[in-house]
C-alpha cells in the first residue's frame, strides 16, 4: 500500500510569483486535505477536496486554490506569493470525507518565499 | 482563535521514565482527539486517538486520557525511549467535521 506522497520536497520562490504543489493520496482514499505549518506552529487547515469538489475551507484567502483529479491526486496553487507564505505544506488523505478523523499525512513540501 | 492548546513547548525526560504531554481544548463540539508524532523533515504520523465517549485508550506504551469536564487530555508514554524524541501534536475534530484542529506541539527529548 502506497502512502501519501508530495512533490516537490523543497521550493524557493520570489514574492509575487505563483506556485503549484502536488499530492498523491494513499491508495483507496478519495479525500484530500491541505494544511500549512508555519515555523513553531501546528498545522493549519487550508481546504479539503472530496471527489473533485471542495468540501470545506479554512481561513485562507482566495489566492490559495486547489484541484482534485479523477484519480484523487490533488494540487495546491498559491498566487501572488507573500513572504508569510513560507511554510511547510502538508497534504493528508482519508478513506472517505466522513472519516476525516483518520487523516494520513505526506512528508510535506517546504516552501520558501524570498 | 486557538481551539487546541499545548502550553508546554518542550519537555525533557530520562529514558525509562514516564513522559506526560498535556493538551487543552475550548470547543465542546469536538468528538475525536488525536496525537500525532512528527520527526524533522517528515509529515505527522498518527500515534493514538480517543473518542469523546471514552476516558482512556491504550496502545502499548502509549495511553491517552480524556477529561471532558475539564476539556483536557494527556498522552502518557511509559517507559520513554530515546526514539520517542520528536514533536508531539494534539489535534481534535468534530464528528461531522473535516478539519483537524492542531495545537502548537510539544517537543519531547528523551535522554539516555
Residue B93 has pLDDT above 90, yes or no: yes
Residue A70 touches chain B, beta carbons under 8 Å: no
* Count of C-beta atoms within a 10 Å radius of residue B88: 23
Asked if the model's pLDDT at residue B76 lies above 70, the reply is yes
Closest CA to A58 of A66, A48, A47, A49: A47
Confidence class of residue B48 from pLDDT cuts 50, 70 and 90?
A: very high
- From chain B, which residues contact A within 8 Å (Cβ)? 4, 6, 31-32, 34, 36, 41-46, 49, 89, 91, 93, 95-105
pLDDT tens digits for A48-102?
Answer: 999 999 999 999 999 999 999 999 999 999 999 999 999 999 999 998 877 787 8
- Given pLDDT bands bounded at 50, 70 and 90, which one contains residue B1? confident
Does residue A112 contact residue A12 with C-beta atoms inside 8 Å?
yes
- Residue B7 three-state SS: coil
Calpha distance B48→B71 (Å, rounded): 18
Residues in chain A with CB shorter than 8 Å from the CB of B89 are: 42-43
Nearest residue in chain B measured CA to CA from A54? B98
* CB A9, CB A58: distance < 8 Å: no
Nearest-by-Cβ selection for A58 from B6, B91, B99 = B99
Amino acid at each position: 500500500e502506497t502512502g501519501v506522497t508530495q512533490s516537490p520536497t523543497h521550493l524557493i520562490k520570489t514574492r509575487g510569483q505563483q506556485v503549484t504543489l502536488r499530492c498523491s493520496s494513499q491508495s483507496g482514499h478519495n479525500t484530500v486535505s491541505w494544511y500549512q505549518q508555519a515555523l513553531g506552529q501546528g498545522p493549519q487547515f487550508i481546504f479539503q477536496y472530496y471527489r473533485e469538489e471542495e468540501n470545506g475551507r479554512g481561513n485562507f484567502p482566495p489566492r490559495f486554490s486547489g484541484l482534485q483529479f479523477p484519480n484523487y491526486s490533488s494540487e495546491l496553487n498559491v498566487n501572488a506569493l507573500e513572504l508569510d507564505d513560507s511554510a511547510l505544506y502538508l497534504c493528508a488523505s482519508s478513506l472517505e470525507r466522513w472519516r476525516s478523523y483518520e487523516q494520513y499525512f505526506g512528508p510535506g513540501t517546504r516552501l520558501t518565499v524570498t | 482563535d486557538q481551539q487546541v492548546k499545548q502550553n508546554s513547548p518542550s519537555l525533557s525526560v530520562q529514558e525509562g521514565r514516564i513522559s506526560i504531554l498535556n493538551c487543552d481544548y475550548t470547543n465542546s463540539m469536538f468528538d475525536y482527539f488525536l496525537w500525532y508524532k512528527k520527526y524533522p523533515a517528515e509529515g505527522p504520523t498518527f500515534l493514538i486517538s480517543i473518542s469523546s465517549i471514552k476516558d482512556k485508550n491504550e496502545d502499548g506504551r502509549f495511553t491517552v486520557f480524556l477529561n471532558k469536564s475539564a476539556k483536557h487530555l494527556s498522552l502518557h508514554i511509559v517507559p520513554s525511549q530515546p526514539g520517542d524524541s520528536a514533536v508531539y501534536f494534539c489535534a481534535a475534530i468534530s464528528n461531522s467535521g473535516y478539519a483537524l484542529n492542531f495545537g502548537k506541539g510539544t517537543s519531547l527529548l528523551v535522554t539516555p
